Amino acid sequence: MSAPCIHPSILNADFANLERELSRISSADAVHVDVMDNHFVPNLTLGLPVVESIRKVTDLPLDIHLMIEDPDVWAPKYAELGCESVTFHAEAAGAPIRLARELRSQGAEAAMALKPATGVESYLDMLGELDMLLLMTVEPGFGGQKFLDLVLPKIRRARKAVDDLGGNIAVQIDGGVSIETIERAAEAGADTFVAGSSVYSAQDPDAAIAELRGLVQKVPFS
């Protein structure tokens, strides 16, 4: 497994002061940006114009998580903006292999997300087309939800498949990541962690990132 990566989600940041909020997570490995369309998920956040503005005010890599319909159309546009990683949902993509290849051709890492109830087995054959697999540990659409332990066996299966394949495919989790949950997720095989409220609710978000990273580094399997 690769070194643990912490990707704070700005879903829990102050949207009126995003440049300041980004400066408070300077030690992050990337910025996780949740794009929601009020169709694929029951919430509406931000889109291309805001992401373009974010790109201008931070040098941190942008990890875009598209919780939208028609990612086949929209995902490449985020790659064109210079976002380092673009994640689309398997449940929404019409042609996931073609989309992953298009994202890579645009210079972005290609990532695919699965909801908690979506099995990983149907997608194992396309792992080689991906740079990251995101396993949701809450239902997508809202921050601050409780971590779903029922996803842990799926994380283990995904980790085994990634290790068997070889290469460098990250296993990311998103939802309910905190000091209480991150160690068991790491033990199951996750190496990249999206943390929203546990980072931005802290008085010092960078210190919260360091604490989460330190907990993962203690896990024997990491």
CATH code: domain of residue 13: 3.20.20.70
Q: Is 196 annotated as a binding residue?
A: yes
> Which neighbouring-strand residues pair with 88?
112
Q: 29, 131, 174, 191: which one is catalytic? A: 174
Could you tell me which residues come within 8 angstroms of residue 9 by beta carbon, excluding any fewer than 6 positions away? 32, 33, 34, 143, 174, 194, 195, 196, 199, 200
| Position 10 in a domain | yes
**Residue 43 domain-assigned?**
yes
Tens of pLDDT, residues 100-139: 999 999 999 999 999 999 999 999 999 999 999 999 999 9
**119 belongs to an annotated ligand binding site:** no
Query: CA 184 from chain center: how many Å?
Result: 18
What rounded mean pLDDT belongs to the chain? 95
Q: Give the percent of the chain with pLDDT over 70.
A: 98
pLDDT beyond 60 at 222: no
Is residue 72 part of an annotated ligand binding site? no
Please name the amino acid found at residue 149: D
Tokens 């990337």 -> residue: 30
Q: Classify residue 222: in a domain, yes or no.
A: no
* Residue-level pLDDT at 1: 61
Average pLDDT, integer, range 134-149: 89
34 appears as a binding residue in the annotation? yes
pLDDT tens-digit series, residues 52-105? 999 999 999 999 999 999 999 999 999 999 999 999 999 999 999 999 999 999
Range(s) of the domain holding residue 169: 5-217
User: What is the pLDDT averaged over residues 170-176?
Assistant: 96
pTM score: 0.95
pLDDT (average), residues 164-187:
95
- Residue 145 has a pLDDT of 82
Higher pLDDT, 29 or 2: 29
Annotation-wise, does 7 bind a ligand?
A: no
| Total tally of structural domains belonging to the chain | 1
Please confirm, yes or no, whether 206 is among the known catalytic residues: no
Helices then strands (H, E): number in the chain?
A: 8, 8
Please say if the pLDDT value at position 2 is more than 70.
Answer: no
Contact predicate 50/82, CB 8 Å: no
Indicate whether 94 belongs to any domain: yes
pLDDT of residue 33: 97
Q: Does 37 reside within a domain?
A: yes
User: Over 90: is that where the pLDDT of 167 sits?
Assistant: no
Give the pairing of strands 31-36 and 62-67. parallel
Pick the catalytic residue: 29, 34, 63, 131? 34
Contact 45, 68 (CB under 8 A): no
- Residue 65, annotated as binding a ligand: yes
Distance CA 15, CA 79 (A): 22
Alpha carbon 203 to its chain's center: 23
Would you say residue 16 lies in a domain?
A: yes
Tell me, yes or no, if 34 is annotated catalytic.
yes
The response to whether 107 counts as a known ligand-binding position is no
Per-residue confidence band for 220, with pLDDT thresholds at 50, 70 and 90: confident
